[in-house]
Amino acid sequence: MNATQAVRVAEARADFPILHQQVHGKPLVYLDNAATTQKPKPVIDAIVSYYTADNSNIHRGVHTLSERATVRYEAARERVRRFLHAASEQEIIFTRGATESINLVAAAYGRENVGAGDEVLITALEHHSNIVPWQMLCNEKGAKLRVAPINDAGEVVIGEFERLLGRRTKVVAISHVSNALGTVNPVGPMIRAAHRVGAVALVDGAQAVAHIPVDAPALDADFYAFSGHKVYGPTGIGVLYGKKRLLEAMPPYQGGGDMIRTVTFEKTTYNDLPYKFEAGTPNISGVIGLAAAIEYLENIGIENAAAHEHDLLCYATEQLRRIPGVRILGTAAEKAGVLSFLLEGVHPHDAGTILDSEGVAVRAGHHCAQPVMDRYGVSATTRASFALYNTREEVDALARAVRKAQEVFG
């Protein structure tokens, strides 16, 4: 490890039990972190301890276990609040993931505030989760989905983005970091531009929060969405941050237990924030695991993790560029640890299969971002993505496996 890297990688790797195994007789090299990160021991322990000692339903029971579970659940909300620098815990809604967070805003905010002839502006970099909910809303309302283009490097053309903003724009929905190319969007200025025309701005932070310290109020994001499983936490848990004034004005997303104050057959009154948006028994163990994940990452330091991943990205880019026939997609000036590439004469799925036979786990496909693939005239790429526990030696293993794929299909 380079002496300037503050992440003690060997120590960090020891925290992730899953990394210490062989796949097809080779040491596992896990480079599919943009799809989901592995979970450190403190996260696994938090979930085990919850189910071993405190499991109960929350906000309902008068008994001790329920009180303990409720305390752990709400303490986790406070940790997420601090993580995003939100002003109030009322601004932190637990969801199933980034996808549900975006759907919640499209349904609850969008249905009330977007009408016929209005526009929703997204970018050509978006994941399907930040396209389809807006498309569904626009179809329902007779509104128009506008798309800001990207250049060959995979950067949003900011002049075009600004040109597409107008008095009809009601929502701007943008990714903080592209999952397919790794581009980091200048979300601060983009949010400010959205506000100048009176639109609200949602940021899809699914690929950002593990790599970039996020201060949602400083960004002035109206909504910020992320998934627990991409930030070393469990699957099935996510977060929606929303400005209190907007959340308060929005109708509920789903009806059920916990989101109500009173129910009669004639009328229901709704609970206060954030419970108004958390219908039904939530993913309690997921919330507790997420809080442990955030604590783990904060102890390492997001900036330290980001610096380490940046080093790996630069090193991997250099290594792959040395291999004739490799074409890297996504060469933005600001990139997080995602490396998407094509191998001449080898389909990305075949490349992924050969890499797997060498123990190297990557994602091959359209990465749920088909419009990005269309922009480059390809159907798929092979994608390596880095986390705080990856090493330069693993990048070397990736490069060796890529050469092997070339030989096999040569």
Q: Which residues are catalytic?
A: 368
How far apart (Å, rounded) are the C-alpha atoms in residues 171 and 134? 9
61 vs 188 by CB, closer to ligand C6P: 188
Minimum gap (Å) between residue 236 Cβ and ligand C6P: 9
* Helical segments of 322-367, H only: 348-357
Number of residues that bind ligand C6P (CB under 6 A): 18
Distance separating alpha carbons of residues 297 and 208, to the nearest angstrom? 13
Nearest CA-CA partner of 210 in 397, 338, 367, 49 = 338
Say whether residue 39 binds ligand C6P (CB under 6 A): no
Judged by CB under 6 A, does residue 286 bind ligand C6P?
A: no
> Tokens in use for 160?
């075009």
- Window contacting ligand C6P (CB under 6 A); options: 64-72, 182-190, 308-316, 362-370: 362-370
Task: Tell whether residue 206 is a contact of ligand C6P (CB under 6 A).
Answer: yes
| Binding segment (CB under 6 A) for ligand C6P, from list 203-211, 239-247, 302-310, 321-329 | 203-211
Report, in Å, the least distance between residue 265 CB and ligand C6P.
35
How far apart are CB 97 and ligand C6P at their closest, in Å? 3
**Of 46 and 369, which has the nearer Cβ to ligand C6P?**
369
Q: Under the criterion CB under 6 A, does residue 271 sit at the interface with ligand C6P?
A: no
Q: 35 vs 158, which CB is nearer to ligand C6P?
A: 35
With binding defined as CB under 6 A, does residue 185 bind ligand C6P?
A: no
Joined tokens for residue 287: 């919330």
Report, in Å, the least distance between residue 393 CB and ligand C6P. 24
Which of residues 54, 91, 204, 278 is near ligand C6P by CB under 6 A? Answer: 204
Residues near 48 by Cβ (< 8 Å), separated by ≥ 6?
Answer: none
SS3 325: coil
Contacts to ligand C6P from residues 90-149, by CB under 6 A: 97-99, 127, 129-130
Cα 347 from Cα 134, distance rounded (Å): 32
Pick from 72, 81, 363, 366: which binds ligand C6P (CB under 6 A)? 363
**Residue 35 within binding range of ligand C6P, rule CB under 6 A:** yes
Binder among 37, 227, 340, 381 for ligand C6P (CB under 6 A)? 227
* C-beta of residue 157 within 8 angstroms of C-beta of residue 164: no
352 lies in the binding site for ligand C6P (CB under 6 A): no
Choose between 39 and 367: whose C-beta lies nearer to ligand C6P: 367
Least separation in angstroms between CB 263 and ligand C6P: 30
Cα distances (angstroms) measured from residue 205 to each of 86, 127, 217: 15, 11, 14
Distance of CA 37 to the CA centre of its chain: 11
Contact pick of 184, 199, 368, 398 for ligand C6P (by CB under 6 A): 368
How far apart, in whole angstroms, are the C-alpha atoms of residue 378 and residue 375? 8
Of 164, 211, 165, 163, nearest to 185 (Cα)? Answer: 211
Q: Which is nearer to ligand C6P, 77 or 383 (CB)?
A: 383
Q: Residue 239 or residue 305: which is nearer to ligand C6P going by CB?
A: 239
Using CB under 6 A, pick the residue from 39, 170, 243, 367 that binds ligand C6P: 367
**Token digits of residue 174:** 């943008």
Both tokens of 242, joined, read: 């929303």
Contacts of 11 (CB under 8 A, 6+ apart): none
On the 0-12 / 13-18 / 19+ scale of CB atoms within 10 A, 132 is: middle
Q: Candidates 16-24, 56-64, 363-371, 397-405 — which segment interacts with ligand C6P by CB under 6 A?
A: 363-371
Provide the minimum distance between the beta carbon of 181 and ligand C6P in the complex, in angstroms, as a whole number. 11
Q: Decide the pairing of beta strands 238-242 and 223-227.
A: antiparallel
Question: HSE on the CB side for 273, CA within 13 Å?
Answer: 18
Determine whether 310 is exposed, middle or buried from the number of CB atoms within 10 Å of its CB (0-12, 13-18, 19+).
Answer: middle
| Binding footprint of ligand C6P on the chain (CB under 6 A) | 34-35, 97-99, 127, 129-130, 175, 179, 204, 206-207, 227, 229, 363, 367-368
